[in-house]
């Protein structure tokens, strides 16, 4: 595919890996924020190309992983209603709630459908006027505009049998929360390229300046990730800290204005709890009062569900980079992709699941 294959070119990959090796003189901990980047790193074995000094910390950028248990329980409570068609992105179906996951609920007869886009859920609502169609809106600022448009169109067309269970999250507050944490290990960030395609990267300037940390907005292909790492390591080695944009073919400073405008119209910024990390101020998005009618939490009276998380999962420490997945005593034992104990084993992008799939044998 054009503009994809070029960024997987083995020769360029090898050259960039050599360039990184040439400039690295000491250990550095770098976090890739986005789960898509984690997936690429593990799938292509990018970490195996890096010098031993470079330690990649897989960040909390997998929305499937960080969606709090309470919201999974809300989703399960709504999806169990007989008149509901519950629509979700594929990966959310395997996330365990308190008692079971959406896949098990589907097995018991609930009408749960995988959709590619929130607009597909909107179409289902039009096709089934007698049913209550609910879309589970999870994801970062990349996905939030897609559910914002679904909400906007539902309101415009007065589609009363459609509603949204919204658990969108914002990236800058979680980066700040990690940097503030007393045992923070992260010395440089690869910024999430597709989040920045919507939000730009001006939000990172104050973070970079305040915490004196390099942030390189980075794409998702091997060449992008290695180039992002190269730029980040170069800053660290030269004792600089700047916000750089490796992914300039897609991202600009200000981001996507029409998308940001509709997000402001549809969503308020709220505090949100993250699975494994706890509550982070101003890190979530919720429907505004104007869209209350399309809020599934109200429509199905699940707003009071407030399940707390089990203590035996150490995904919080994995997300903060304090331990590697294989260091958790439950990794590969009680906690597997078939029966995930917590956030990071849930999605194929989660750090634990990615390790389990591609690296388990090294730790056996």
Partner 1 sequence: MPDLELNCPLPLQYDQIVMAHGGGGRLMRQLLDSIIQPVFSNPVLNQKHDSAVLNINGSRLAFTTDSYVVKPLFFAGGDIGKLAVCGTLNDLAMSGALPLYISCSLIIEEGFAIKDLQRIVQSMQQTAQQAGVLIVTGDTKVVEHGSGDGVYINTAGIGIIGEGINSAPAGIQAGDSIIINSDLARHGIAVMLEREGMNFESTLQSDCADLSGLVQGLIQAGIDIHCMRDLTRGGLASCLMELADASHQAIEINETALPIREDVKSACEILGFDPIYIANEGCFALFVPEAQTEKTLAVLREHPLGQQACSIGRVKAAHPKGLVTLQTAMGISRVLDLLSGEQLPRIC
Partner 2 sequence: MCLAIPGQLISLSDDRDPLARTGRVSFSGIRKEISLAYVPDAKINDYVIVHAGFALSVLDEADAVASLQAFNDLSAFEKNHGI
Q: Which residues bind partner 2 (CB under 8 A)?
A: 1-4, 6, 9, 12, 15-16, 18-19, 22-23, 34-36, 61-64, 89, 116-120, 139-140, 142-143, 145-146, 149, 152-153, 192, 194-195, 197-198, 220, 223, 227, 230, 234, 248-251, 256, 258-259, 262, 349
Closer to partner 2 by Cβ: residue 30 or 151: 151
Q: How far is the CB of 107 from partner 1 (least distance, A)?
A: 5
Question: Of residues 277-306, which lie at the interface with partner 1 (CB under 8 A)?
Answer: none
Residues 86-115: x where in contact with partner 1 by CB under 8 A, - otherwise, as a string = ---xxx-xx--------xx-xxx----xxx
What is the Cα–Cα distance from 70 to 309, expressed in whole angstroms? 8
Based on the number of CB atoms within 10 Å of its own CB, is 137 exposed (0-12), middle (13-18) or buried (19 or more)? Answer: buried
What is the Cα–Cα distance from 92 to 51, expressed in whole angstroms? 35
Of positions 44, 86, 247, 331, contacts partner 1 by CB under 8 A: 44
Question: Of residues 56-85, which lie at the interface with partner 1 (CB under 8 A)?
Answer: 62-64
Closer to partner 2 by Cβ: residue 302 or 347: 347
Question: Does residue 4 belong to the site contacting partner 1 (CB under 8 A)?
Answer: yes
Decide which of partner 1, partner 2, none touches 337; Cβ closer than 5 to 8 Å per partner kind. Answer: partner 1
What is the Cα–Cα distance from 131 to 123, expressed in whole angstroms? 12
Decide which of partner 1, partner 2, none touches 350; Cβ closer than 5 to 8 Å per partner kind. Answer: none
Q: How far is the CB of 63 from partner 1 (least distance, A)?
A: 5
Based on the number of CB atoms within 10 Å of its own CB, is 24 exposed (0-12), middle (13-18) or buried (19 or more)? Answer: buried
Question: Which strands form 278-287's sheet, in the order they lie side by side?
Answer: 111-114, 84-88, 132-139, 162-169, 278-287, 267-274
What is the Cα–Cα distance from 143 to 159, expressed in whole angstroms? 21
Cβ neighbours for 210, distance < 8 A, ≥ 6 positions apart: none
**DSSP track, 338-355:** TB--SHHHHSTTSHHHHH
Which H or E element spans position 56?
strand 54-61
Closer to partner 2 by Cβ: residue 230 or 294: 230
Q: How far is the CB of 339 from partner 1 (least distance, A)?
A: 4
Question: Does residue 38 belong to the site contacting partner 1 (CB under 8 A)?
Answer: no
CA 315 to chain centre: 14
Bridge partners (DSSP) listed for residue 335:
331
Q: Could you give the residue ranges of the DSSP H alpha helices within the chain?
A: 10-23, 35-44, 63-66, 69-79, 102-107, 118-127, 144-156, 171-180, 193-199, 204-211, 222-237, 257-266, 296-299, 315-319, 343-346, 351-363
Closer to partner 2 by Cβ: residue 254 or 308: 254
Q: How far is the CB of 114 from partner 2 (least distance, A)?
A: 12
Q: Give me the residues that bind partner 1 (CB under 8 A), please.
A: 1, 4, 8, 10, 13-14, 35, 43-46, 48-49, 62-64, 89-91, 93-94, 103-104, 106-108, 113-116, 120, 123-124, 138-139, 143, 222, 337-339, 347-349, 356-362
């Amino acid at each position: 595919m054009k503009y994809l294959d070029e960024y997987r070119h083995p020769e360029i990959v090898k050259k960039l890996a050599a360039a990184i090796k040439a400039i690295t003189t000491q250990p550095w901990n770098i976090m890739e924020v986005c789960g898509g980047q984690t997936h690429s790193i593990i799938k292509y074995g990018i970490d195996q190309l890096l010098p031993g000094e470079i330690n990649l910390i897989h960040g909390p950028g997998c929305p499937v992983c960080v969606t709090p248990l309470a919201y999974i329980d809300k989703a399960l409570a709504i999806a169990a209603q007989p008149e509901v068609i519950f629509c979700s992105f594929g990966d959310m179906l395997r996330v365990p709630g308190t008692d079971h996951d959406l896949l098990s609920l589907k097995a018991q007869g609930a009408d749960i459908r995988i959709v590619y886009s929130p607009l597909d859920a909107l179409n289902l609502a039009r096709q089934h006027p007698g049913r209550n169609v609910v879309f589970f809106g999870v994801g970062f600022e990349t996905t939030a505009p897609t559910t914002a448009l679904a909400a906007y169109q539902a309101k415009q067309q007065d589609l009363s049998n459609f509603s949204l269970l919204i658990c969108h999250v914002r990236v800058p507050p979680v980066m700040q929360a990690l940097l503030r944490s007393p045992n923070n290990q992260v010395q440089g960030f690869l910024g999430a390229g597709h989040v920045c395609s919507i939000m730009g990267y001006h939000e990172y300037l104050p973070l970079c300046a305040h915490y004196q940390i390099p942030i390189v907005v980075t794409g998702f292909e091997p060449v992008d990730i290695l180039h992002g790492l190269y730029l980040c390591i170069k800053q660290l080695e030269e004792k600089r800290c700047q916000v750089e944009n490796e992914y300039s073919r897609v991202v600009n400073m200000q981001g996507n204005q029409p998308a940001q405008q509709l997000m402001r119209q549809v969503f308020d910024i709220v505090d949100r709890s993250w699975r494994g990390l706890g509550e982070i101020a101003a890190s979530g998005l919720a429907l505004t009062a104007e869209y209350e009618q399309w809020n599934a939490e109200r429509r199905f009276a699940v707003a009071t569900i407030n399940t707390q998380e089990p203590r035996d999962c150490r995904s919080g420490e994995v997300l903060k980079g304090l331990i590697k997945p294989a260091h958790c005593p439950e990794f590969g034992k009680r906690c597997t992709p078939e029966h995930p104990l917590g956030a990071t084993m849930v999605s194929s992008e989660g750090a634990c699941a990615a390790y389990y799939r591609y690296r388990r044998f090294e730790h056996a």
